[in-house]
Amino acid sequence: MTQSNTQARNLLYLFDKPAQPIFRPKGLNSQVNFEVPASFYIDRYKSVINQPQTRFNIQDVIPVKEISPPNILIAESLDKRSNFSVFNSFHSECATNLIKAFMDAKNVDDFLSTCVYAQQRVNPYLFIYALSVAILHRKDTKNVPLPSHVCSFPELYIDGTILSRVREVGSIFEPGTQEPIEIPMNLTASDLDVEHRLAYFREDIGINLHHWHWHLIYPTSGSMEIVNKDRRGELFYYMHQQIIARYNIERFSNYLPRVGKFHFYQPIPEGYFPKLDSIIASRVYPARQANTVLLDINREADQLFVRVDELVRWYDRIYEAIQRRSVLRGTDLIPLEESNGIDILGNLVESSILSINRDFYGNLHNQGHNMLSFIHDPDNRHLETYGVIGDNTTAMRDPVFYRWHTTINDIFEEYKRTLTPYTVQQVKFLLLLLLLLLLLLLLL
């Protein structure tokens, strides 16, 4: 393995316990200095934590190249003990700043040094998000296997009581001798809540990891080389549309009707009590009572100010653009053509940096998530953090996620209804393919 590949693999150590990074200065016998700005070592092991005078073998450390400190002042402005959400514009700005610093590193050695420098200075959730995005998009880290997010922050996927049991069993029994630890079906609710029939789907670790990973591949902000991917807006629609379709199939299988739309001024029928902890923020994820109503958000601590009527205004403007088959950009009208219309709408609804007119059409999708996530404490009088729908890691656990995205999905369906039907010429290839499949079945 080349030196470059070795250093790229060393990036994986940064995913281990990101809340408690272990650094060592270059001098093996020197006092540990957690403010060393450039040249230091990362200890691979945990035995020397809080032992600054301990001698350790040179093979136990990873050398890091000395660099000039990167400009991550914006990223550092996010409190290290707060939660992180890509839906929050301020948090997204912090992520953009940190991702830029990671992407600007000239080579893997500089990248590793920049990451080590940032790890002690920025919010751990933000750090892992930005590091993951950078590893996925840098050309020199294409072959670095990205660790599962559940390994870095298991508390975002598994109830704290289950994790405590896992740690207890792991400390008592030898590997391979432990009995399996089952996560009970009735963990977050009882059968009195009919929506709990779908808990196995919503709270599945794999599907929530998928949602996290999709937003790593398609972030809303950052450099154009990261955000501006082919058919990005269309894929935003398609991915969520497929999730809603699968969710409805699961509902039918459990004798439940199709998921209803979200209505801006009507109570939300479902409540949700997530039973999850945010260890970094030292808070539990707050619950949402049934029949709560969307309220204006005025939270200075989160730099979040948005009104319900703003959401409705953005929604109406997008619908107006669909009926007009064109989007306003200044005094110009950009046509929503069949070839690119749904892609333009996708970036408009999600309000990515590719949005044609963010000032006019707003930030419908993300601010909807934000407002729903603070519905329990809209003015921060109780100093509560956001609910699970405010985090793309946990959002799919909440039943209101599917109501909100049914409403978002209907925007795209309305646009598709304005399109003319496919011609025979357009579907000729598909018809030929179906004919070949039919012949193949007959031959078998």
SS3 292: strand
Q: Which residues of 57-93 are buried (b: 16+ CB within 10 A; e: fewer)?
A: eeeebbebbebeebebebbbebebebbbbbbbbebbb
State the burial class of residue 302 (Cβ atoms within 10 Å of its Cβ: 0-12, 13-18, 19+): buried
**Nearest-5° Cα angle at 132, 127 to 134:** 95
Contact 119, 129 (CB under 8 A): no
Helices vs. strands in the chain: H and E counts, helices first? 17, 9
Q: Does 35 qualify as catalytic in the annotation?
A: no
Number of Cβ within 10 Å of residue 149's Cβ equals 21
Cα–Cα distance measured from residue 368 to residue 387, given in angstroms and rounded to the nearest whole number: 13
Cα–Cα distance measured from residue 233 to residue 217, given in angstroms and rounded to the nearest whole number: 13
Which residue do the tokens 């154009």 mark? 224
CA nearest to 299, candidates 362, 360, 382: 382
Put the strands of the sheet holding 40-43 in their side by side order. 23-25, 40-43, 61-63
Cα–Cα distance measured from residue 79 to residue 83, given in angstroms and rounded to the nearest whole number: 8
Cα–Cα distance measured from residue 263 to residue 388, given in angstroms and rounded to the nearest whole number: 20
Structure tokens at 197: 């029939």
Its sign, for the CA torsion 409, 388, 208, 399, is negative
Q: Which residues of 398-437 are buried (b: 16+ CB within 10 A; e: fewer)?
A: bbbbbbbbbbbbebbeebeeeeeeeeeeeeeeeeeeeeee
DSSP state of 34: T
Query: How many residues belong to the chain?
Result: 444
Number of Cβ within 10 Å of residue 154's Cβ equals 16
Q: Which of 350, 384, 413, 414 is catalytic?
A: 350
Contact 218, 326 (CB under 8 A): no
Q: Which residues carry out catalysis?
A: 350
